[in-house]
Amino acid sequence: MSKICQITGKRAMVGNNVSHSKRRTKRTFMPNLFIKRFFLEDEKRWITIKVSAAGIKDITKKGLVQALKDAQISGFISKY
């Protein structure tokens, strides 16, 4: 599976390592991803999603169902 958050759409970014002598080499910045299980109260079932730390905060703030609907509208997740 790719390293993309299914709630916020965060993905790996490319940047530079900069040494003391200012030499630049390529590196990747990976998102802080977790594989988490959440319980959907409406459907009485568990779902497993790959979510970043910012996505967990988003779920806590909005609620699971609303966060999943927003992610589906944005195209980050097809169905839940």
Burial of 54 (0-12, 13-18, 19+ CB in 10 A): middle
User: Which ranges in 2-63 belong to alpha helices (H)?
Assistant: 53-62
Classify residue 79: in a domain, yes or no. no
How much is the mean pLDDT over the chain? 96
Classify residue 23: in a domain, yes or no. yes
pLDDT band for position 80 (cuts 50, 70, 90): confident
Q: What are the tens digits of pLDDT across the range 12-38?
A: 999 999 999 999 999 999 999 999 999
Classify residue 26: in a domain, yes or no. yes
Query: Residue 34's domain spans which residues?
Result: 13-74
Classify residue 2: in a domain, yes or no. no
Taking the whole predicted model, whether its pTM rises above 0.75 is answered as yes
Instruction: Answer yes or no: are the C-beta atoms of 77 and 58 closer than 8 Å.
Output: no
Residue 6: partners with Cβ closer than 8 Å, 6 or more residues away: 49, 50, 51, 55, 71, 76, 77
Classify residue 63: in a domain, yes or no. yes
Q: Tell me, what CATH number does 63's domain have?
A: 2.30.170.40
Q: What are the tens digits of pLDDT across the range 33-51?
A: 999 999 999 999 999 999 9
Tokens of 61: 């703030």
Classify residue 69: in a domain, yes or no. yes
